Every structure is written in C-alpha cells, then in structure tokens.
Homo-oligomer: A and B are copies of this chain.
Amino acid sequence: MNALPEWLRNYQPAWLTGDITAGVIVSVMLIPQGLAYALLAGLPPEMGLYAGILPLIAYAVLGSSMTLAIGPVAVTSLMTASALQPLATSGSPEYAVLAIHLALISGAMLLVFGLLRLGFLAYFLSHPVISGFISGSAILIAVGQLKYVLGIKVDGTHVLEILWALLRGVPQSNPVALFIGVGSMVFLLWARRYMARALTGLGLPATLSGILAKLAPVLAVFAACVVVGVFRLDATAGVSVVGHVPQGLPSFSLSVPGMHALGQLWLPALLITLVGFVESVSIAQSAALKRQERIQPNRELLGLGVANVASAVSGGYAVTGGFARSVVNFEAGAHTPLAGVIAAVLLALVIATLTGLFYYLPHAVLAATIIVSVISLVDSQTLKEAWQYDRADALSLLATALGVLLLGVEAGILIGVALSLGALVWRSSRPHMAVVGRVPGTEHFRNIERHAVQTQPGLLALRVDENLFFANAAVVEEKIESLLKADPALRRVLLICSAVNQIDATALGVLTHLERSLDARGMVLLLAEVKGPVMDRLRSTELGQRLQGKVFLSVHEAFLHSGQFSMESR
C-alpha cells in the first residue's frame, strides 16, 4: 500500500472532525474567491471554481504540507492576466486556452524542477524582494478592481493610465454599484477588525468567532446576491453581475501548447512557477513549524506541479497555496490534506447543482472582496524594519515594488530576482580573508590585524573563509597579488583552506594560473589544512601534481617547513 500518501496510511480517526470542519469552511470560502480571482485573471467565472477542485485532490496525493490550501490566488491571477492580455482578448476562448496552457507549462516546470531536486530555487528571492513584489502586486490588483466598484468601463494597461481613467470616470459611476461596492468594503474592513470580537462578545467561542469573521466575504456575497436578485438591480439599475455560470462538472481535456505558444508563454510560466512556489513554501513552512511538521521543498514542487497539471486538464488555470484559506484551514482544525479533498468534493457538488445562485452576484462585491483581501498584503512593516536594519535590502524592496507598479509584474519580479542574485554575487565576491600569524608559544594562528602574533619573514599566510569558486576566485588572486606587491620580501604564499569546502573549475583554473605565475617569479605556493574531499579531487589535476610536497596538514607544519624556523614577533 505504499502508493498511498503517508498521511493516509497513518490516518487517525481523531483527525476526522477537524478535517471535515476545515474542508466545509474552505469550500465555502473557495466559492467567492474562485469567482473573484477568475474575474481578476480575465477568465470566465467557472474557471476559478474548476481550479478549486481537481488541484486540491492532486496536491493531497503528492504535496508535503498537511494544511496548505491550494487553489486560485490573487498574485498568480494577476500574473496570468498580465501575461495573456498582450496575446488575446480577455474573456475570449483563445484567452482561456492560453490560461490553461500557462498552467500546464508551469505545472510541467514544477514537476521537472521537482524531479531534478531543485527545491533550493525557493531561495532565489530574498524576503524584502518578495515583500516588495507582493505589496506592488496588491496595489496593482486593488487599482485594477476599482472600476467594478465604480461600475464603469476603463481602458488602459498601465497603472497610471488606469488611475487617470478612473479619476475621469468618477462622474459616470453607477451609484448602485458604488453603494454595493463601498458598502461591502466597509463591512469587510469592519469584519476583519471587529467581527471576531463582537461574536465573542455574543458568547461564541474564540476559535469559532475567528473563523466566522473570516467568512464575512461569503456573507457579503450572499447578501449582495439576494438584494440584487430581489430588486433585479442588474436590469433596473445597470449593476454588472456575474450572469450565467455553466452548471455541471468540468470536462477533462488535454490541450497541448504548440511551439508558438510555448515561445510566448515560457517566461511568464517560469515567473508564475517561481512566485507560486516561493509563496506556497513560505505559507506551508510557517504552518508546519507551529505543529513541528516538516516541509520538503522538493516534494512541494511535485505537489504543486501535479496540482497545476490537474487544473489545466480540468478547465482551471494556475493554482498555488493561498494565504487566507491556508490560515482558515489550519485554524479550523485541518490535520491532513483530507480537508482539501473534502473541500474539493463539496465545491464539485455546488458546481454540479447550484451555479444558478451566482447569477445575480454583482461584480462590485467581488471586487470589494478582492480589494479588502489584497490591501492587507501591502506590507509596510517589512519596509520599515528593513530600512532601519539594512538600507540596501529596503531599497531592493522599493525597487521591486515600483518595478511591479510602473513596469508590470514580470519586470518587477525580474528586477527582484536580479537584485537578490546581485546581492548574492556581491556578497560572494567579497570573501572574508585574513593574513595570519602565530600566537606566541602556541600552535594557534590568528589574524595579524586583531591579535599580537608572530609572522615569518618571506612568508605570506592567508586564510580564506569561503569556498573558492567563480564568484570570488579572481578576488582572492587579486588580494594575494596586492599583498605581494606591498611587500617585495615575500617569497612563499601559504593559502590556508580550513574553511574551503569546495573548489570549482573556475577557482581551480585561477589557482593553477597563480601557482605557475608565482613559480615564474621564483616564488612558491603552499597549501595548508586542505579538507579531505577537496584534496581527493585536487590530486589528479595538473595543480595537484605541481603541489606535491607543498600541501601541509596544519599551518604550524607549513610554518616549520618554510625554511626559517625562528619566528620573529611582529
């Protein structure tokens, strides 16, 4: 029975109540969120619902998080829209097919990355860059939804263009839509801050009150549906509504993108993959830590991969772990992905029978739920903290956020990746290095700049506290050359490798060149404290051959060997 996931093999009856409760609540949340995020992605409403069924079941089989709630989320919906809007008319069948292809390509990428065990990709982005990206996207999403709250049509793709059009459009706004939209926003903001407290005040248990408060969007949606339906506000007041949502389960079909679509979609798919994975892992991680569970990034790649493929073959679009639903899922008592499976089954039942209920759902209330939920993602706290702690980190946060807002989500995330990686290369290109001498009367060697130590005339003993590889090999060579230039009496260079766990091909080349160049000038390169595995690989190289008899177990031995035994105090 090893084909069954571990959580299912070890399932304990005591978990069932929690999993069922959480599954029911998450399915109720999934309905307005699925409809709203599909609207945000520019897709027909049913695609948002379809994305909440099969992906949850697929993730339950392969994912490693017990409480991550998979499905459509705000940021990947925005990224889907921003990737597809230049390629097709939103709402058109071609647009929907491209969205499915995007999910399929992203799913395939996740699976390939998972099979190649590239879970470390989650570390490509620093926390400030992620924070900047999420904040920028949240503002972009909120601005994009305002037109539904105002009940007007707005053209334009750039955020400034949209803002300007909104400003000009205010006089034409639909008063009823505006009332519903603003009313919902006020209610949702109130609910977020005070509803749990109010319900506790009415005598409800704290956990239940918390969960009910999280369901406020469902209440708003329901109330709006009833009001619009009863007064037929769609016809009488021109309130824009969701309209007909096809009833029945999604049909399965595999639509494989051609070379042309692949060429257009691989980069956005890669960015959605990266962002979705990073977001998912960090949500899953923080939940897992609370229960002493473990997230395996490589397993997460596989879990998210099958979830996206499952979404693509069942008429959905890109999915990943959602923050709000995961928190509710956890708090409502979910112990295993069975909660997700239950949510999926319930959602499937709703789609099979009750889509008629959504006909009168006004776009204004959906937009209000999106705006209120993304506004909480705008994270000024991280900016404030980063500004105080590390100005460079704060600036990359701002650059990423502004990049998303002014240049678009793809440019924003690329700027973020570039800044994160730039910081990494910059850091790696400045390894800590210390010229060392002997602590008098001992066999210990310490930094000559920090300790009173003895050096040996003619010997340069340099310790490099970092692996030697392409990002720093040239810097180490430069450091040695400049030290040699500063003291023409130096004849022997001792490289202390106690902190060197790896030497890559670039660094090997640099060391080989250094050894030869020293040799040509009548000088010698010596090594000390080379780690076993490093030495094993070095031995068969040209450098290894040339260094025979010049590699010492300890710095002390190298000092003893270096000609003059008397060491003068510096």
Contacts and interface: CB of A to CB of B under 8 A. Distances in A.
A126 B389 contact: no
Contacts of A425: 120-121, 123-124, 421, 424
Contacts of A509: 127, 382, 385
Nearest to A125: B470
Nearest to A541: B389
A505 B421 contact: no
A20 B467 CA distance: 45
A2 to B, nearest CB: 23
A474 interface: yes
Interface in A459-515: 465, 467, 469-472, 474-475, 478, 481-482, 485, 499, 501-502, 504-506, 508-509, 513
Contacts of A537: 389-390
A119 to B, nearest CB: 9
Interface size of A as a range: 35 or more
A344 interface: no
B427 A470 contact: no
A420 B424 CA distance: 12
A469 B505 contact: no
Contact of A508 (B389, B421, B475): B389
A149 to B, nearest CB: 32
Interface string A372-385: 00000000001001
Interface in A503-544: 504-506, 508-509, 513, 517, 537, 540-541
29 contacts: A120-B426, A120-B429, A120-B430, A123-B425, A123-B428, A123-B429, A123-B470, A123-B474, A125-B470, A289-B481, A292-B481, A292-B485, A294-B482, A385-B505, A385-B509, A385-B541, A386-B505, A389-B508, A389-B537, A389-B540, A390-B537, A393-B505, A394-B505, A421-B424, A423-B469, A423-B504, A424-B469, A424-B471, A432-B501
